[in-house]
Amino acid sequence: MALRVDDGGSGLMNQNVAAVSSVARLLVKAELKKMGLEKEILVAAREVLQQAVRDAIRAVLIETAGMKGASDLTVQVDMAEVLRHTSPAAEAQADPKIESPVSPGCHEPLQSQEHAPAAAPTGLYIYGVAAGEDDFEMGVAGVAGCRVYALAAAGLCAVVHDCSTEPYRPDSDEQAKEWLFAHQEVLDRAKERLETILPMGFNTIIHSAARKPQEVLREWLSQECGRLKSMLDRLRGKEEFAIKILVPEEVLKKVALREDSRLQELQRELEGKPEGTRYLYKERLEKAVKDSLEEMAEVYFRKVYRALHRLCADIRVEKTKQGPPGKRMIASLSCLVEKDLVPALSETLAEIKQQEALDIDFTGPWPPYSFVSQPVVPS
């Protein structure tokens, strides 16, 4: 029985706590402003939010691509082809030059403008940055059916569309996926034309209250050209792939029982015990097997990582998720790979799958979100 004593003072205590918290927030904010740190914290918070959005974009696209794959080993999923089957048809190719970067805003024919930002565009939605000397039309519909074009400055060009200063807020999961696919489609088309592109996260918008966003963008490209070009140089000639490795639990158990002498000894003891004490020994064995499975999973991970590391320019170890029933995910990797080494990577994964009885999910190429730090744009 649970006893609860209420002397009537809890409401007053909650009010006092709320008042103290409010005063504390005001004091902290005033102190940060005095120290000149308020702006830095706002920038840091925006970077965290942008990173979360980039992760969400990638997760949705990978999940949707995974729905279309039938085999355990999927090599080089063509995301452009997937997107062409799930997004509105692209516009006919337009004149590759534009005389003036001042754009008319979103166009109507490809998609309803019901959920698009407000009519008067005062910002620029940025898809990505690449090396380039000229302004040009992309000839593809962007998020919410907007006209997409490129603006150049300082040997760089940004792929953009005109928008309001407010971020896009989807009304449903379906609309969110539709916009994410449109964002991805623009990046794929830009990559075909510009080869290497620095991808920006969904809802990266540049704007200024006092100046045209096109002027602000060109100035930003000029000011940040050194850092942006350095990031592009690192990505040039490379592509990102996602690799997930799963092991059937039964395979792990068999390997553990075969190679772990402690488990073999416990199993022999269990077989020789009477029915009364057998239960206790069985519990001990199950706990030992569970501990051993963790060790075996680590062994498999290291083996796979060593085999792939020599073929990748960089590898990011991502957090593993719970696998389907009966399977354990032992590795979730983002790999930056030289284009000419992709076939060798595919062959290596096929060998690992055959030799170790593993399930391998190999998808890409993806925009290299995992290997770029999101630049902070003026806003």
pLDDT at 327: 86
CA-wise closest residue to 79 among 91, 65, 67, 63: 65
SS3 state of residue 204: coil
239-371: what fold?
Answer: Alpha-Beta Plaits (3.30.70)
pLDDT at 148: 97
**Which residues have a Cβ under 8 Å from the Cβ of 80 and sit 6 or more positions away?**
185, 188, 189, 192
Domain boundaries, the chain: 80-235, 239-371
pTM, two decimal places? 0.62
Token pair, residue 226, equals: 């050194």
Helices and strands of the chain, counted as H and E runs: 10, 10
pLDDT at 362: 95
pLDDT at 313: 95
- C-alpha 245, offset from chain centre: 18
pLDDT at 35: 58
Angstrom distance (rounded) from CA 379 to CA 124: 10
| Per-residue tens of pLDDT for the chain, all 379 residues | 333 334 444 454 445 545 555 655 666 566 656 655 555 555 555 555 556 555 655 655 555 545 443 333 333 333 333 333 333 333 333 332 222 333 334 543 333 333 444 445 689 999 999 999 999 999 999 999 999 999 999 999 999 999 999 999 999 999 999 999 999 999 999 999 998 999 999 999 999 888 999 999 999 999 999 999 999 999 999 999 999 999 888 777 777 666 666 666 666 666 666 666 666 666 666 666 667 677 778 888 998 999 999 999 999 999 988 888 888 898 999 999 999 999 999 999 999 888 877 889 999 999 899 998 877 777 6
Q: Which amino acid is at 370?
A: S
Instruction: Report DSSP state, residue 322.
Output: -
Element containing residue 261 per DSSP (H, E): helix 261-271
**Which residues have a Cβ under 8 Å from the Cβ of 323 and sit 6 or more positions away?**
246, 329
Angstrom distance (rounded) from CA 308 to CA 346: 10
Q: Which residues pair with 248 in a beta bridge?
A: 327
SS3 state of residue 3: coil
Angstrom distance (rounded) from CA 117 to CA 94: 24
